[in-house]
Structures are given as C-alpha cells and as structure tokens.
C-alpha cells in the first residue's frame, strides 16, 4: 500500500502499459536498455523482469549508470 499525505494511492508503473526491452545483461544483477535515457534515476525503485515466459522476478534497483540498472537478487512473483 502506498500512502501519500494520508491518502491511499495506487502504486506507479513505467511504462504505463506493456514492457520495456533490454539489449544486454551482465550476470544476474545488471541490465542495459536503450529505452533508459538516464534522465530519471531509478535507484531505490523496483524493477520487475520477465526472465522467462513463466518466470517474473521483482528486485530493488541499487544504482543506475546511464542506461544500465544494477539490482539486488530478487523475489519471484
């Protein structure tokens, strides 16, 4: 639940529909996407990655460098 000034608020999502794609990864904890400009720093947010058609993982983003996200080991959804 997200509460802003005492008001229950829907959790945000980006993009608002569909999925972004990533072009490369480095091991299990870093992805690079041309769709990330670096204009928004996503550190502290969560990334949800569809690793396989039937596997979705949610992880905390530790840092961002340009269009690369570095994230912690996640939980399967």
| Domain coordinates in residue numbering, the chain | 22-76
Is a pLDDT exceeding 70 seen at residue 77? no
The pLDDT score that the predictor gives to residue 37 is 82
Instruction: Give this prediction's pTM.
Output: 0.79
Q: Which pair of tokens denotes residue 48? A: 């949800």
pLDDT digits (tens, 9 = 90+) for 33-47: 999 887 889 999 999
| 35: CB partners within 8 A, 6+ apart | 20, 21, 67
């Amino acid at each position: 639940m997200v509460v802003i000034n005492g008001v229950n608020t829907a959790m945000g999502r980006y993009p608002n529909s569909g999925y972004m794609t990533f072009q490369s990864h480095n091991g299990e904890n870093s992805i690079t996407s041309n769709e990330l400009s670096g204009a928004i720093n996503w550190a502290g947010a969560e990334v949800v990655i569809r690793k396989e058609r039937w596997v979705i993982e949610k992880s905390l983003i530790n840092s961002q460098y340009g269009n690369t996200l570095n994230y912690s080991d996640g939980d399967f959804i």
